[in-house]
Structure 1
Amino acid sequence: MNHDMTFPTGRESLIDTHSVYGAPCWVSLTSRDLQATEEFYTAVLGWRWRPGKLGDPFRIALADGRPVAGIAAVAAMWQMAVAWTPYFAVRSADEAVSRAQERGGTAAVGPISLPPGRAALLADRDGATFGIWEGELFTDWDAWRTSRPAFIRLHTRDAFDAAIFYGEIFDWGSGEGCCEVGYEGDEVVLRNQGDVVARIESGALGAAPDPSLRPHWQIHFAVRDVGACVRAAERHGGGVLSLDADEAVLRDADGAQFTVTARRFDG
């Protein structure tokens, strides 16, 4: 499992996780080489950087001056997998961990205190890693969810079974959480105020030898120019796993996968 827990711990927002309960609220990446990771994502996504509050191995990525993601240079130190991890907002980290474990999930880290909140890292019952966060949000959530992380997608064995697992943890579609569940063909779609914030699709294999075929969450970042991102990734030691006119699945120089999705931006 990827033990990745990187958060800005300043007071960027007074909104807390009660307001967006059940929704994705942050993404984080482990890295073997912080400088190389910064250079790669600056070239590909145009990010700038600031130190994290947890010490030298941690950095916060900024897009247009706004925190959008966390990077932790601990993969080699702690022998972790290199991967992007999404975090979901919860009212109680303890309750969310208990719910996940009762439904066959596992807890790798936490809950632990990371002021101004608490976090835990878990895996669902098919092995896909995700995190939870209780406390103040790290940035303007409405702007964050509709800008750089366009949405997240779970590639899993059975989309409907996974939707039940996550729905029972995060109260999706119950009226208690902030998200509604719908369906588009064989995909489960999670929406907030009409906007897609997560998708779940079937097809991943639990014992596949290729990690990209195993159950996992994939982060989709919104960009202006998919082709430019592809060229920058190739120039800076990354790779292209798939490409079409509006989207590309990329691999960074460490091997972490992510997707760039075309979107128009105002201004």
Structure 2
Amino acid sequence: MTSVSGIPCWVSLTTRDMRSTEEFYGAVLGWSFRDSPLGDEYRVATEDGEPVAGLGELAVTWQLPVRWTVFFQVEDADITTTRIAERGATVAVGPLAVGSGRAVLAADPSGAPFGLWQGEQPRGWAVGTGHAPAWLELRTRDAFDAALFYGAVFGWAEDPRHGISYEEQSDEVIVLVDGKTVAGLRDGGIEAAPDPRVRPRWEVFFRAPDLDGAVSAAIGAGGEVVLPPQDTEHGRAATLRDPDGALFSLLSI
């Protein structure tokens, strides 16, 4: 998959306790963990030796909430950060030098957190392939407005040679990279009024071939079921909360 500005390039969890977090996700999803070149406070979750996600014990040192964050690849963090601020959104952290790259933490105009990464991304990592997350979805109050924001910030559909675009489908806006759907922006209807009950956030869907087994393992390891397993248009899915409070979803496809 092409590596260009605006592509989802990584997901990372801020946590308070690395050891207990690794024990939980290891039990639920069978992940292993290794050190990261980004420093002692950062670890990489792997499956079959391939990178899946990052874990950062940064909730305490950086005073950040415990949550999963979707990062987008950018060519210039300074330019993209300026675009974010110009469009009524919030830049919370950065650009900061992290290892050999630069990172930014921000929130879109509706309050949904997301990140920017300027630098090398993990080799072979791409949403919907291998052991990377199967799906990413923005839950927001107005999917069309969100698409306009992210499209302007990342230049989606500006240059067809980049291979990234977005389009409306039923009740969501989908993001495509080289013709492959990698993420959705959903509110409950493109033409519907914004839903004030939706708490904006990016949802990360990890692969779980045995969804019921993974949900049972999560409960046994101290997690909580937020939405029980149910059929969706992308497959059978469930939403959980880990013992530290971070929301994540599982998808059996």
Alignment of 1:165 onto 2:149: yes
Among 58, 65, 76, the residue aligned to 1:81: 65
Cα pair 1:85 1:130 within 8 Å, conserved:
yes
Distance change (3 Å), C-alpha of 1:137 and 1:110: same
Within the candidate set 181, 201, 205, 2:166 is matched to 181
Q: Quote the residue 2:244 is aligned against.
A: 254
Matched, 1:146 2:132: no
Aligned length: 241
The correspondence for 1:51, drawn from 35, 50, 56, is: 35
Which of 199, 211, 217 is matched with 1:226 structurally? 211
Mapping of 1:92-131 within 5 angstroms? 92-131=76-115
Is contact 2:163-2:179 (8 Å) kept?
Answer: no
Structure 2 unmatched ranges of 5 or more? 189-193
Partner in structure 1 of residue 16 of structure 2? 32
Q: CA deviation at 1:19?
A: 2.7
Give how far 1:127 is off: 0.8
CA RMSD of aligned residues (A): 1.9
> How far off is 1:134 after superposition?
1.3
- Deviation track 1:203-257 (CA, whole Å, cap 9, x = no partner) reads 5866x6xxxx411111011221111110110000001111215111111111111
Aligned equivalent of 1:244: 230
CA distance in 1, matches of 2:150, 2:124: 24
For 2:101 and 2:14, the matched residues in 1 are separated by 20
Q: Conserved in 2, the CA contact under 8 Å of 1:224 and 1:262?
A: yes
| Residue matched to 2:140 | 156
Aligned equivalents of 1:67, 1:53: Cα separation in 2:
13
CA offsets, 1:124-157, max 9 Å, x none?
Answer: 1111110011121122134x54133112111111
Q: How far apart are the structure 1 equivalents of 2:212 and 2:201?
A: 25
- CA–CA distance in 2 between the matches of 1:20 and 1:258? 26
Distance 1:116 1:78 in 2: 19
CA distance in 2, matches of 1:92, 1:153: 24
Q: What is the distance in 2 between the residues matched to 1:129 and 1:154?
A: 10
SS at match of 2:44: strand
Percent identical: 46
Matching of residue 195 in structure 1 with residue 180 in structure 2: yes
**Separation in 1, partners of 2:40, 2:101:** 20
Q: What is the alpha-carbon distance in structure 2 between the residues aligned to residue 54 and residue 92 of structure 1?
A: 19
Mapped contact 1:25–1:145 kept (Cα < 8 A): no
Instruction: Give, as a single letter, the amino acid of the residue that structure 2 aligns with 1:131.
Output: G
Q: Does structure 2 conserve the Cα–Cα contact (< 8 Å) formed by 1:38 and 1:49?
A: yes
Alignment partner of 2:144: what SS?
A: helix
Q: Deviations over 1:5-24 (max 9, x none)?
A: xxxxxxxxxx9xx8332110
Match of 2:201 in 1: 216
- Residue 181 of structure 2 aligns with an amino acid whose one-letter code is V
